[in-house]
Amino acid sequence: MITNPTPQRALRGHRPERDTPRVRNSAEHHAWLAGHLTPRDRWLVRMLFEHKVFTTHQIVDLAFPTRRAANLRLLNLHKWGVLHRFQPHRDSGSHPMHYVLDTAGATLLAHEDGIEPGALNYNRDREIGRAYSLQLAHTVGCNGLLTALIRRARQPGATGELTAWWSAARCGRHWGDIITPDGYGRWREAGREVEWFVEFDFGTEQLSRLAAKLTRYERLATTTGITTPVLVWLPTTEREATARRALADAQRALDHPRRVPVATTNATTSADPLDMALPRWRRVGDADTAGRTRLADLPALWPGLSTPAPHPANVNRTRQAVDERPDLAPPHPMPPPEPAYRRR
C-alpha cells in the first residue's frame, strides 16, 4: 500500500522560469548579455533591425551550419529577450517560425552605436505587429532573395559572392525622393560584378503602377549618368507575361529607353523560386520564347552597361568569420559598399 504518493507535479520535467519583461530590460540583464552574446548574435541583431523579419529557414541560410544549431541558439536569444518570435496562421500545414527584434536586442544595438535606446526609432509593439501585417509575405519574400544568394555563396566551391544588399528601407533613405525599390544588390562572380535594383511583385500591385516606375528609374539614370538594371520578380508565368507587355510599352515611351534596362523572372522558372543567380532572367523587349540568363551574365544583355567599381574594403568580406568557426556565417556586408550614385 502506497502511503506517501509522489505528487503529480513532481513527475513533470523541469521547466525553467522565464525572466519577466522588467527583468529582461534591466541594466543587470544587459550587462549579463554582454558576456553571453557572440559576434554572430550581434550581427544577427543588426540584420533584423535592417531587414525587419526573418524565418528560421532564412536565418539558417544566413548564419548557421544546420537547422538544429540555429534552433538551439534562437531559443536562447528568444528567452533572453533579444529576439521575439511568432508563427503566422496557415489553413493547412504550418508556417516556419518568424523572428523580429525584441527590446534587449534593440538596447544592445543602441549601446553599441553609442546612442540612447530612444533614438533608435525602435517600437516593440510595431515589430510584434508584423505578425498581422498585410506586408509580411512581401517582406519575407524580399528577404528570401537575399538569403538565397548568401546560401549560394556559402556552398563549398562557390564562385560567386554577394557584396552588397540594401533593404527597401535603406534604399528609401538614399533615393526615396526619386525611386523606392524593394532592394539594391551587387553580385561578384568570375571577376565580374553586376549591380541591380529589384522590384518584388507579389501579384497584388496594379501592373500599370509597376510599369510607371520606369519613368522614375529613367530620371535617376539621367541625373547620375549611371545605368543600372531593374530586375522584376513575379509570382507566376501568366503574371510575368502580362507584366512584360506593360513594361515593354512603358519602356518604349521613355525618352531614353536604354537608360532603364529591365529583365523579368517568375517563381516557376526553377526549383528554387528565389535564387536570383540561376539562369532565370529574360530581357524586356525580347520574345517570350527567348532564353533566360544567369545573374552574373546580365551585362551581356546590355552592351555598354557600366560595371560597378570594386570596393577594396569589402573584398572577401563575406568569407570572414563572425563566430568561433570560420565556416559558420559569412557576414552580410555591413555596411555595404557605396553604390555608384553615392560615390559621385
| Coil, strand or helix at 8 | helix
The pLDDT assigned to 306 comes to: 64
The pLDDT assigned to 322 comes to: 30
Tell me what the mean pLDDT of segment 110-138 comes to: 92
Residue 254: Cβ-neighbour burial (10 angstroms; 0-12, 13-18, 19+): middle
Give yes or no for residue 17 having a pLDDT over 90. Answer: no
Q: What is the pLDDT of residues 162-188, one digit of tens each?
A: 999 999 999 999 999 999 999 999 999
List the grid coordinates of 278: 540561376
Tell me what the mean pLDDT of segment 297-308 comes to: 83
The pLDDT assigned to 191 comes to: 86
Tell me what the mean pLDDT of segment 277-300 comes to: 94
Decide if 232 contacts 263 (C-beta within 8 A): yes
Give yes or no for residue 90 having a pLDDT over 90. Answer: no
Residue 331: Cβ-neighbour burial (10 angstroms; 0-12, 13-18, 19+): buried
Tell me what the mean pLDDT of segment 276-299 comes to: 94
The pLDDT assigned to 230 comes to: 98
Give yes or no for residue 85 having a pLDDT over 50. Answer: yes
Residue 341: how many other CB atoms lie within 10 Å: 17
The pLDDT assigned to 146 comes to: 96
Q: What is the pLDDT of residues 213-231, one digit of tens each?
A: 999 999 999 999 999 999 9
First to last CA, the chain: 89
- DSSP secondary structure code for residue 258 in this structure: G
**Whole-angstrom Cα distance, residue 45 to residue 100?**
9
Tell me what the mean pLDDT of segment 130-156 comes to: 94
Query: What CATH topology corresponds to 25-132?
Result: Arc Repressor Mutant, subunit A (1.10.10)
**Whole-angstrom Cα distance, residue 98 to residue 49?**
14
Task: Give the residue with greater pLDDT, 310 vs 124.
Answer: 124
The pLDDT assigned to 303 comes to: 85
Q: How confident is the model at residue 204 (pLDDT cuts 50, 70, 90)?
A: confident
List the grid coordinates of 47: 540584420
Tell me what the mean pLDDT of segment 153-163 comes to: 92
The pLDDT assigned to 288 comes to: 85
The pLDDT assigned to 149 comes to: 96
Give yes or no for residue 9 having a pLDDT over 60. Answer: no
**Whole-angstrom Cα distance, residue 138 to residue 86?**
17
Give yes or no for residue 104 having a pLDDT over 90. Answer: yes
Q: How confident is the model at residue 240 (pLDDT cuts 50, 70, 90)?
A: very high
Q: How confident is the model at residue 16 (pLDDT cuts 50, 70, 90)?
A: very low
User: Can you say whether the dihedral through the CA atoms of 147, 149, 153, 156 is positive or negative?
Assistant: positive
Give yes or no for residue 195 having a pLDDT over 80. Answer: yes
Give yes or no for residue 234 having a pLDDT over 90. Answer: yes
- DSSP secondary structure code for residue 4 in this structure: S
Bridge partner list, 311: none
The pLDDT assigned to 79 comes to: 95
Q: How confident is the model at residue 27 (pLDDT cuts 50, 70, 90)?
A: confident
Q: Of 213, 341, 184, which is closest to residue 276 (Cα–Cα)? A: 184
Tell me what the mean pLDDT of segment 144-171 comes to: 93
The ranges assigned to domains in the chain are 25-132, 136-343
**Whole-angstrom Cα distance, residue 47 to residue 41?**
10
Task: Give the residue with greater pLDDT, 7 vs 230.
Answer: 230
Give the helix ranges, DSSP H, for the chain.
21-24, 27-34, 39-51, 56-63, 67-79, 103-112, 124-128, 136-154, 168-175, 207-224, 237-252, 340-343
